[in-house]
Structure 1
């Protein structure tokens, strides 16, 4: 009798749960029907009856404090009938809070500007936490769709191995060299004139210039021949002269073998060794700032504002050193190396950061959410996103939109970026939009940067690789292998350059990496590259 009662109880529970499931499906179906009925097919407002979208967002220090009360977004809310409720998390603590939110199951409707790593986008996409956007883009995002059709390589770069798009990226303009370039080379024209030289065009001329500059002083302080905020940024200038890192800086260990066209672990290539020998000469002769491996940004900026750098690889010096000192710098050249190589390799893929707009499975209005973003990919929308509101931050002129005087010459002494931050949520942050040089006020579109880009455009590498996608088993192995290899490469690179380790140890260095699993690492990277290339 007990057994029969237990069976009956189980049957009743199963029937109850099945009925609840059917009720939930029916309720969800009804909600979806209501959401579609409320959606406008085109134009504004996006929805007839106001909806609320809960957004988890990263927040850079340079943006407005509270995105729930920003003039541009307030106006856009009126236009769309969509109330975006922003939960902002500072970039410093973003990864931890984002990961906790994803793990908790208490999800927002949308992750925006959160720098979600590719591996996590793919993982949570396959789990169904993040929804595929392919069909929604086709039907509800005409501006994004048109762009992806125009640039199929970008669509390829955001499509995961299972064929789905789970995130809208932040994009750099593939037709704008200055947008694709990361840091740039700058030469102190006053020091150049003082040593009586032309702007260096080869590694040998660059060495001669640095050597001459070392003996000079600026207002009683010694000139520092060559520097930046890290040693990596110095390599961004030098690597192209030795033919390495020829697929851009998004891959720190691999590039393309120029002889075979195959993938290459360039950190063991002979050309890379030659580059380290050149950097060793610069460092041991005091031509590179001697604390480059530990330099703090504040120290670099302090030296820069005193005009002490003869050459540097960094961002616009006027932005960071001020007009008086920063105006002393002119664009440097991509350098030609001893083997005739001359490339500018500090280049990013247009898809330089992917995980910035992902819709979760709790969002009841995914169509409207994507339409909300799609407007900012239109001509009028880009203008609004980057420049703000007509009459408040910019005006239309015969030459195009122009920022108002109170933004460009703020009465309170604010910079352009600081003044704009009172009206828009850009600059700063990983916004899922396309940087457009016609409207963007980002530093890379300043006249000095554009001049630098035009000067070096002939030497920009072609088709820089974006970050690759990996399957789960590949990712777990790659994480372990890449961590060990990267750490060892970094340690030995510093030892070779500073002279702590002799280049006579080069073969041992190469053999050690092979013993650390280099072949397996390259097999995984080859599979990922094949997927990217559509093989």
Structure 2
């Protein structure tokens, strides 16, 4: 491998040429392995494991001579430094590409992305871009920094065309106002999976038995259970060290109020929803105030870990993995592997998913994605790219089965292997093609070496369903199947709201919406925590809170959303 230049070291100041970035499995570190299909093995799913090159295309892929591509990539937490990551190494070896990296941490990547795009020194390829539809309008349609991908996709992107044939609506959703496609979005394993519902609560059933309680189904019952966890010594060590409910902030769906507020009315972090084509507000509703009063009561009574509103994912995981004694009764997070080590069978087996709680008015629902749309982009090519035909074929690898598995599941022979076809995947119908040899949820892994999480994850086929489910569902190798089954239990409680269409703002409306929504979201998140923790008094300060929303143009933001939806 050629020695590459490091244009931006981790942690350097933003003033240097800067850019952007963005559950997985893990395994042990091994030698670099070329990821072409094994001899005698068919390339899966028409995959670009073999090439990704369309018949008759002029470009040779992989190229015969090494090609250098200046790429902006993200150093994902939980992934070993990218140049030591075997996916990155295998990709360079397979594609015969030397990536000249601009590598930055995930935190603050959006600001760095915007600064980079405003400079005269942007890369040829951007991965984990987090471009919104409006970003694509700005940098593609208006400023022409991003190049149209339509012809490149038609000529070279075999796997992506297959994905779009499976979901024709996605191709239209990917188009900007001029009819061009300026980037490729992310779709986790074909769409349906445990990501369809992030607002989950996990409860220790051994503690329920210890305090003589049943699985709670209402907000009153849940409060009663948490009080018993606090006072009933469920871990049996004779100490008052129990944490009834914990969570984290700045990570996926771990804020403890997300699950709880949905017992009082529809709540999500977008701060609005759509019903019968009409945008509905959340932040100024009476049911939100009632829900905050309930969660505040839990906090005042010492039933919610105060650290849950400030601690990181890693700190929450340390609580779940507390050495020796189990100290947490419930945890709010998108999947239980964020909270504890799933390879600790004794502890992992104690926690079960809770169904949405019924609130005082009888409302019982949870935000749940029933229809999958795409928007924005995680991969884009800029106008300075010297080999766009190579760049698009690299992207196309990650729209196919082989490299989706390689990026997310790890190395064959270490993390997974081929199955004999006698068992099914997690849907109970599809014949399994692969089997796990080892599985670690990201929170349990020390720096993943053999997978790279969301470093480059595009429109994937449903590769997770091709891993066999064998034996106990609680075996760590069946982790994705367990999460899928748990999420399917939540599906009957899907809130009766409409899918928000991908938004295509016109003129300056996109910038206006971005400004309004950022201000409103930042304010609302802080206000919710302050109401819960008592920094603000819910009764005395509620009117002031509503006035602040008005000052921040919350209703104007909703009107702009309605106008945009009506125009589509």
Q: Quickly name the TM-score band, shorter chain normalised.
A: 0.7 to 0.9
- How far has the Cα of 1:455 moved from its partner? 2.2
Q: Distance in 1 between matches of 2:547 and 2:283?
A: 12
1:373 to 358, 383, 395: 395
Match of 2:553 in 1: 517
Task: Find the partner of 1:226 among 245, 254, 269.
Answer: 245
The whole-number CA distance in structure 1 between the counterparts of 2:477 and 2:561 is 34
Distance 1:224 1:193 in 2: 17
Match of 2:297 in 1: 281
Question: Aligned runs of 1:109-258 on 2, under 5 Å?
Answer: 109-125=124-140, 126-173=142-189, 175-217=191-233, 218=235, 219=237, 220-230=239-249, 233-245=255-267, 249=269, 251=270, 253-257=271-275
SS of residue matched to 1:446: helix
Residue pair 2:219, 2:359 contacting (<8 A) in 1 also: yes
Contact 1:216 1:222 in 2 (8 A): no
TM-score of the aligned structures, taking structure 2 as reference length:
0.73
For structure 1, which runs of at least 5 residues remain unmatched after alignment? 1-37
C-alpha deviation, 1:77, in angstroms: 5.0
Maintained 8 Å contact 1:255/1:265: yes
**2:255 is paired with a residue of what secondary structure?**
helix
- State the Cα distance separating 1:104 from its structure 2 match: 2.9
SS of the residue corresponding to residue 197 of structure 1 reads coil
Give secondary structure in 2 for the equivalent of 1:321. coil
CA separation of 1:328 and 1:215: change in aligned 2, threshold 3 A:
same
Q: Secondary structure at the match of 1:242?
A: coil
SS at 2:306 equivalent: coil
Higher share of residues assigned helix: 1
Q: What is aligned with 1:24? A: none
Give a deviation string over 1:394-446, Cα, whole Å, max 9, x none.
322214454675x559xxxx999568x4344x224353342732368999953
Moved more, 44-53 or 57-66: 44-53
1:305 Cα offset (Å):
2.9
Say which SS state the counterpart of residue 398 (structure 2) adopts: helix
SS of the counterpart of 2:262?
Answer: helix
Residue pairs, 1:42-61, within 5 angstroms? 46=61, 49-50=64-65, 51-61=67-77
- Greater mean deviation of Cα atoms: 56-65 or 434-443: 434-443
Q: How does 1:347-496 map to 2 (within 5 A)?
A: 350=372, 354-391=376-413, 393-399=415-421, 400-402=432-434, 405=437, 407=438, 421-424=448-451, 426-434=452-460, 436-438=463-465, 445-461=479-495, 464-465=499-500, 468-496=503-531
Residue range with higher mean Cα deviation, 271-280 or 510-519: 510-519
Q: Secondary structure at the match of 1:450?
A: helix
- Alpha-carbon separation, structure 2, partners of 1:486 and 1:392: 43
Q: Give the 3 Å change call, closer, same or farther, for CA 104–243 of structure 1 in structure 2.
A: same
Structure 1 residues 321-368: Cα deviation after superposition (integer angstroms, max 9, x where no partner): 331433321111122223332222265985678432101112233233
Match of 2:306 among 269, 272, 290: 290
Match of 1:267 in 2: 283
Out of 306, 320, 329, which is 1:304 matched to? 320
Equivalent position of 2:355 in the other structure: 333
Q: SS state of the match for residue 268, structure 1?
A: coil
Q: Are 2:134 and 2:510, in contact at CA under 8 Å, matched by a contact in 1? A: yes
How far apart are the structure 2 equivalents of 1:297 and 1:108?
31
Q: Distance in 2 between matches of 1:361 and 1:148?
A: 25
Distance (Å, rounded) in 1 between the aligned partners of 2:240 and 2:58: 61
| Structure 2: runs of 5 or more not aligned | 1-52, 422-431, 469-475
In structure 2, do the counterparts of structure 1 residues 172 and 397 end up closer, same or farther at CA, with 3 Å as the change threshold? closer
| Residue 229 of structure 1, CA deviation | 0.8
Distance in structure 1 (CA, Å) of the matches to 2:561 and 2:477: 34
Partner SS for 1:264: strand
Q: Structure 1 length normalisation: TM-score?
A: 0.77
The answer (yes or no) to whether the contact 1:318–1:325 under 8 Å persists in 2 is no
Distance verdict in 2 for CA 1:513–1:108, change over 3 Å: closer
Alpha-carbon distance change, 272 to 94 in structure 1, aligned in 2, over 3 angstroms:
closer
Q: For this pair of structures, how many residues does the alignment match?
A: 481
> What is the alpha-carbon distance in structure 2 between the residues aligned to residue 55 and residue 440 of structure 1?
32
Once the two structures are TM-superposed, the CA of residue 518 in structure 1 deviates from its matched residue by 3.2
Is the alpha carbon distance of 1:313 and 1:517 closer, same or farther for their aligned partners in structure 2, counting shifts above 3 Å? same
